[in-house]
Chains A and B, each alone.
Chain A
Amino acid sequence: MTTLRPFERESTRGLDFVGKAAVRVDGLEKVSGAARYVDDLDFGPDLLYAEIVESPFANALIKAIDTSAAAAVPGVTKVVTGKDFPFKFGLYMKDRYVFAQDRVRFVGEQVAAVIARDPKVAKRAAKLVEVTYEELPPIFDPLEALKPDSELIHPDLGDYAHVPWFYPHENTNIAHWRKTRKGDVEQGFAQADLVLEGEYRVPRYAHCAIEPHVIVGLYDQSGRLTMWSASQSPYTQRHLFAEALAPLGLSHKDVRVITPYVGGGFGGKAGVSMEIMGAALATAAKGHPVKIRFTREQEFYNTYQRQGLVAHLKMGVKNDGTITAIRHILNWDAGAYVEYGANVVNAAGLSATGPYRVPNVWIDSKCIYTNLPPGGPYRGFGYSEFVFGLESHVDRVAEAIGMDPVAFRRKNAIVEGDILAYGAEMNPSGLIEAIDRTADAIEWGKEETSDDPNKAIGKGFAVFWKAPAMPPNASSASFLKFNEDGSMNISVSGMELGQGYMTAMAQIAGEVLAVPPTKIRVETPDTDRNPYEWQTVASHVTWSCGNAVYAAAVEAREKIFDVVHRVHGYEEESLYLEDESVRSSTDPDFKLPLRDFVIDGLEDTDGTFKGGPIVGSGKFMPEFTSTRSDPETSQGGHPNVHYTVGAAGVVLEVDRETGRMKVKKVALAVDVGKAINPSLIEGQITGGIVQGLATVLYEDMRFGEDGRLLNANFTDYKIPTAHDIPEETIPIIIEIAQPDGPFGARGVGEHTMIPAAPMIGNAIKDALGVRITSMPITAEKVALSVLREKSEE
């Protein structure tokens, strides 16, 4: 896996485009107002609007639905209920319906929909749909849901189809239980000089992309279904729509998903959530486009949320700081439907040791149904959640044995070749370098004080890691073509969410073909025209799709060299590309511009033409991953392609009286293998840190006793403004090549959020001597903790 590609061997000149802070290829469109998102698309006067009727109860049987009053409102074209679409769907497990069938499982669950010409009419008519419910006792606490005598939220769990590597426990509320067992933890604890246990609680969070979910569907008169979706995953959406609506006889080729620019995803626009209703309603209004645009409130309570977690951690260490054993019990509040979220639980269950060398491991990660909104993919995919507890616990353990917490981490830091919890080997990674450079950046070890007597300054540290959590056969494909002037179009189905994916693809292709990214367009997905991409999630598309684009570019280059060889005679090994031209190492005067022949072919000596349009195709699928492992231990498989690792540190100022916190300085080092575009990597670091800090400092989801989300708006669910940013952010890019990545690259999109919460918790401990083990760590919580400590003295 460490052999260089021929390209890298021959390239002595260094890289022209990869590794440079190129200007984003989509920047002009977005700043000028040209960029189009789904709600900006016009569908003409025939567009219909749908309003959703939602459950007011967290757990109830549906006894009856009377749609007659709503259907009678002038302007209403149709009213539909669950009976019209008794189809299950789901990504990893099929536990969800398009509309609730015989029961509802969370407040806000869709029960019916009204379709009308005018959105105001739809909104008014929706209120007239009468649903008769019989309430059932709801369960909101995953630990309650685990009790043997608790209500079953999914009594038919045992019948649900699911991927073979999930283990539902029928007749319980445990939808999946990932067990990882390595070595012997009891022996590990016995060998330890110190054993410390702790419990950590992390609540739910919302993605809050500024663009809400929106879907438009048209089931035309020929029976072709076209969906315009604000989605991270057009192909997965197409697949789930085709599967769910299979009773209608739809072939995949008859379902088309088009995704223009997306206004932020963060995982929330992955898979299929509200879009399934769009597909179903389109089929209910054949010949007319139908739109569902979620309000901000619906965005909060009826799209994926980040799961809640109650974690119990037990760690054994020797006096010299060596970790001997970790037992990590993760009880996830996964919500009413877990078709996607169960994989979050799975991912955490494989990796909840953190980036440490641990000989004895016991992880139980349980996906537990509750009567709360469905949990699903969220930037970090379970890692932010368990790392809060783990990295808080590491500080406590280090303190207990009198060791510096950074030195402790350094000592146990995982390195290439170490055996992971599930038996596979760790990939090359620069964790030690990340720890050292981060510690330097925040002057770890040097105490700082404030001039203001009300304020204390503390420093906190955390390490992090994450691997893409994907099926073993997740893949990417790419087409590319040249145009008459030597410019290029790249056709891929990864999604530009803002992370800069399109620019990275252009830089990769441009590097191989010696064409500047400014002459390359990367097309937004259309499943009719662009080839397959599993999903834009897991921070994996730079790696996976980058490899596919690289392969497509190499194929195009081979075709270029072939026709030049045939017409001009140069041996292919002597040819190379430079400045949009073909050059020869055996003839310095040979310079053939690509534009001369990439469409028109090369004129031969006899006046005929050879070649023709140069196109390239490529694909990438890892061929070394497998989920076949022992269900009781997770040993034997190779579920994760590789890990991206890093470290972060913060200098935090806190007001002792008010608890108000200010981040004076934060440093984050991440090993990206190869920074295709350092400016975009810094963008992920800066943006991810702010989003991570928000989850720990002030985002605070509040549910009522009835299970209703009380703060489903930005007035009361606070996300960062321009005032709420660190005073200084230090991004540190580390490059220990990923051998199977394009130019050595691996992913970084999610990782930068992960260390935020524990480093704040650790900084608060440093500043005030108070250890807070539940999130969020708000000013109020800090202030009241300090007051409580004072009164106990």
Chain B
Amino acid sequence: MTIAQVFDYERPETLDEALEILIGHAGDVRVLAGGTDLIAWLRDEAVAPDLVVDIKRIEGLGEIVDEGDALSMGSLVTFTHLLNSEPVAARLPLISEMAATVASTGIRNRATMVGNICSAVPSCDAGPVLLVYGAVVHTVGVAGTRRIPIDEWFLGPRMTALGRGEIVTKVLVPVPPGGHGAAFVRLSRYEGEDLAQASVAILAPPDHRFRVAFGAVADTPVRARRVEALLEGKALDPVLVARAMALVSEEISPITDIRASKEYRLRMSEVMLQRGLKAAVERLEGNGPSYGTNLM
């Protein structure tokens, strides 16, 4: 197991200390939380920082807090922590459903949801889910705090709105008022651990102002606004859903790579939208498949 490249390592105890280090360092810096992406990238030499800043000692970043009409998740909250959280399961079931599909226990015990959206690979699982929930990313930098709506977070493959010298402190996820049904559907090559070749997150609120977001089929996770507009406020019937499916090719731009072909990704995105909408509405009405059921 060899990481040949050389870098320094700092482990600040407070946010202020961390920011000082980030600002003060002239070269390439990487923030280390769970490390399940960063360590592999260091070994593969996909990144070449001279300094790695480990934020795991900083207090206050590891909590899930009930803020009333929202839940906030600290940047050090792991996927396991999310999965074990009853408030998350009860009030934001799509996050629980998504968290259970991420990798495996040994990865989830370290990997953080915030790390997932900071790595921002096009197939990142948390992306579509946070998009439909309308999450807000809270950061802190030398210039102060920022609140970045998730719509403005993903800028491109592995590119986010996070600035130099900034650290994410938490993600605030509003709880849709009046209840909701939801579904997170994922295309993978088999039942086992796999990166998504396509994914869709669907939010079905009581007023049927659906929110739909796709992952792994564009440079970033994307909201499917045409589909949303088509479905808004309506009862779903097969004809309407078929029309929605026909719009999918306008919403996404899948590629052919070693994991899947463009054609398969596109066709499956349509199928996933169909199955996801059905499950989300059934769950809204209280008689859907339990969260975590694989619809594919």
Name A's B-contacting residues (CB within 8 A): 119-120, 123-124, 655, 657-658, 660, 697-698, 702, 710-711, 715-716, 718, 720-724, 778-780, 783-784, 787
B207 at the interface (CB under 8 A from A): no
Residue of A nearest to B261 (CB): A780
Which of A123, A710, A724, A780 counts the most chain B CB atoms within 10 A? A780
Contact with A along B3-14 (1 / 0, CB 8 A): 110000000000
- Distance of A660 Cα from B185 Cα, bound (Å): 14
B296 in contact with A655 (CB, 8 Å): yes
Residues in B neighbouring A711, C-beta threshold 8 A: 258
Given contacts A123-B2, A698-B190, A724-B190, contact A783 B268 (CB under 8 A): yes
Residues in A neighbouring B264, C-beta threshold 8 A: 780, 783-784
A721 in contact with B296 (CB, 8 Å): no
Interface of A is mostly: loop
- Distance of A20 Cα from B211 Cα, bound (Å): 61
A710 in contact with B258 (CB, 8 Å): yes
Residues in B neighbouring A720, C-beta threshold 8 A: 190, 192
Name 10 extra pairs, CB < 8 A, besides A658-B187, A702-B258. Answer: A120-B3, A655-B296, A715-B195, A718-B189, A718-B190, A723-B191, A724-B191, A780-B261, A780-B264, A784-B263
Residues in A neighbouring B260, C-beta threshold 8 A: 780
B15 at the interface (CB under 8 A from A): no
B296 in contact with A787 (CB, 8 Å): no
- Distance of A660 Cα from B187 Cα, bound (Å): 10
- Shortest Cβ distance from residue B256 to the other chain A in the assembled complex, whole angstroms: 11
B151 at the interface (CB under 8 A from A): no
B258 in contact with A123 (CB, 8 Å): no
- Distance of A58 Cα from B101 Cα, bound (Å): 38
Residues in B neighbouring A716, C-beta threshold 8 A: 258-259
- Shortest Cβ distance from residue A205 to the other chain B in the assembled complex, whole angstroms: 15
Residue of B nearest to A660 (CB): B296
B258 in contact with A724 (CB, 8 Å): no
Q: Give the contacting residue for B191; candidates A702, A721, A780; CB below 8 A.
A: A721
In the assembled complex, 7 residue pairs joining A and B whose CB atoms fall closer than 8 Å, in A order, are: A120-B2, A660-B296, A721-B193, A723-B191, A723-B192, A724-B191, A784-B261
B147 at the interface (CB under 8 A from A): no
Residue of B nearest to A124 (CB): B4
Residues in A neighbouring B271, C-beta threshold 8 A: 657-658
Name B's A-contacting residues (CB within 8 A): 2-4, 187, 189-195, 258-261, 263-264, 267-268, 271, 296
- Distance of A784 Cα from B261 Cα, bound (Å): 10
Residues in B neighbouring A655, C-beta threshold 8 A: 296
- Distance of A784 Cα from B195 Cα, bound (Å): 21
- Shortest Cβ distance from residue B31 to the other chain A in the assembled complex, whole angstroms: 23
Residue of A nearest to B271 (CB): A657
- Distance of A655 Cα from B271 Cα, bound (Å): 11
Residue of B nearest to A657 (CB): B271
B258 in contact with A119 (CB, 8 Å): no
- Shortest Cβ distance from residue A39 to the other chain B in the assembled complex, whole angstroms: 10
Q: Give the contacting residue for A778; candidates B3, B4, B189, B268; CB below 8 A.
A: B189
Residue of A nearest to B40 (CB): A715
Q: Give the contacting residue for A698; candidates B2, B3, B189, B258; CB below 8 A.
A: B189
- Distance of A660 Cα from B261 Cα, bound (Å): 15
- Distance of A783 Cα from B267 Cα, bound (Å): 9
- Shortest Cβ distance from residue A720 to the other chain B in the assembled complex, whole angstroms: 7
Residues in B neighbouring A698, C-beta threshold 8 A: 189-190
- Distance of A558 Cα from B15 Cα, bound (Å): 80
Residues in B neighbouring A779, C-beta threshold 8 A: 189-190
Residue of A nearest to B296 (CB): A658
Residues in A neighbouring B261, C-beta threshold 8 A: 780, 784
Count of A-B contacts judged by CB separation below 8 Å:
54
- Shortest Cβ distance from residue B4 to the other chain A in the assembled complex, whole angstroms: 4
Which of B189, B260, B263 counts the most chain A CB atoms within 10 A? B189
Q: Give the contacting residue for A119; candidates B2, B192, B193; CB below 8 A.
A: B2
- Shortest Cβ distance from residue A719 to the other chain B in the assembled complex, whole angstroms: 9
Residues in A neighbouring B2, C-beta threshold 8 A: 119-120, 123
B194 in contact with A718 (CB, 8 Å): yes
- Shortest Cβ distance from residue B29 to the other chain A in the assembled complex, whole angstroms: 21
- Distance of A723 Cα from B263 Cα, bound (Å): 27
- Distance of A437 Cα from B191 Cα, bound (Å): 30
- Distance of A697 Cα from B193 Cα, bound (Å): 15
Residue of B nearest to A716 (CB): B258
Residues in A neighbouring B4, C-beta threshold 8 A: 120, 123-124
- Distance of A658 Cα from B115 Cα, bound (Å): 31
- Shortest Cβ distance from residue A9 to the other chain B in the assembled complex, whole angstroms: 52
B258 in contact with A787 (CB, 8 Å): no
Which of B190, B195, B268 counts the most chain A CB atoms within 10 A? B190
- Distance of A116 Cα from B120 Cα, bound (Å): 38
- Distance of A787 Cα from B270 Cα, bound (Å): 13
- Distance of A697 Cα from B194 Cα, bound (Å): 15
- Distance of A210 Cα from B101 Cα, bound (Å): 24
- Distance of A697 Cα from B296 Cα, bound (Å): 16
Residue of B nearest to A715 (CB): B195
- Distance of A787 Cα from B259 Cα, bound (Å): 19
- Distance of A340 Cα from B28 Cα, bound (Å): 48
Residue of B nearest to A714 (CB): B193
- Distance of A711 Cα from B195 Cα, bound (Å): 13
Residues in A neighbouring B195, C-beta threshold 8 A: 715
- Distance of A193 Cα from B190 Cα, bound (Å): 43
Residue of B nearest to A725 (CB): B191
A721 in contact with B3 (CB, 8 Å): no
A697 in contact with B190 (CB, 8 Å): yes
Residue of A nearest to B191 (CB): A723
- Shortest Cβ distance from residue B278 to the other chain A in the assembled complex, whole angstroms: 11
- Shortest Cβ distance from residue B217 to the other chain A in the assembled complex, whole angstroms: 14
B192 in contact with A721 (CB, 8 Å): yes
- Shortest Cβ distance from residue A56 to the other chain B in the assembled complex, whole angstroms: 16
Residues in B neighbouring A119, C-beta threshold 8 A: 2
- Distance of A722 Cα from B4 Cα, bound (Å): 33
- Distance of A753 Cα from B271 Cα, bound (Å): 33
Residue of A nearest to B270 (CB): A657
Given contacts A780-B264, A783-B264, contact A724 B192 (CB under 8 A): yes
Residue of B nearest to A120 (CB): B4
Residues in B neighbouring A697, C-beta threshold 8 A: 190
- Distance of A120 Cα from B140 Cα, bound (Å): 36
- Shortest Cβ distance from residue A697 to the other chain B in the assembled complex, whole angstroms: 7
Residues in A neighbouring B263, C-beta threshold 8 A: 784
Residues in B neighbouring A780, C-beta threshold 8 A: 260-261, 264
Residue of B nearest to A661 (CB): B190
- Distance of A658 Cα from B296 Cα, bound (Å): 7
Residues in B neighbouring A120, C-beta threshold 8 A: 2-4
Residues in B neighbouring A658, C-beta threshold 8 A: 187, 268, 271, 296
- Distance of A552 Cα from B193 Cα, bound (Å): 48
- Shortest Cβ distance from residue B1 to the other chain A in the assembled complex, whole angstroms: 9
- Distance of A780 Cα from B191 Cα, bound (Å): 14
Residues in B neighbouring A784, C-beta threshold 8 A: 261, 263-264, 267
- Shortest Cβ distance from residue B282 to the other chain A in the assembled complex, whole angstroms: 15
Given contacts A120-B2, A660-B296, contact A787 B193 (CB under 8 A): no
Residue of B nearest to A662 (CB): B191
Residues in B neighbouring A778, C-beta threshold 8 A: 189
Q: Give the contacting residue for B267; candidates A123, A124, A718, A787; CB below 8 A.
A: A787
- Shortest Cβ distance from residue B248 to the other chain A in the assembled complex, whole angstroms: 14
Residues in A neighbouring B259, C-beta threshold 8 A: 716
- Distance of A698 Cα from B193 Cα, bound (Å): 13
- Distance of A710 Cα from B191 Cα, bound (Å): 22
Residues in A neighbouring B268, C-beta threshold 8 A: 658, 783
Residue of B nearest to A121 (CB): B4
- Shortest Cβ distance from residue A42 to the other chain B in the assembled complex, whole angstroms: 16
- Distance of A718 Cα from B259 Cα, bound (Å): 10
B192 in contact with A718 (CB, 8 Å): yes
- Distance of A780 Cα from B187 Cα, bound (Å): 11
- Distance of A718 Cα from B258 Cα, bound (Å): 12
- Distance of A718 Cα from B4 Cα, bound (Å): 27
Residue of B nearest to A704 (CB): B258
- Distance of A654 Cα from B192 Cα, bound (Å): 17
Residues in A neighbouring B190, C-beta threshold 8 A: 697-698, 718, 720-721, 723-724, 779
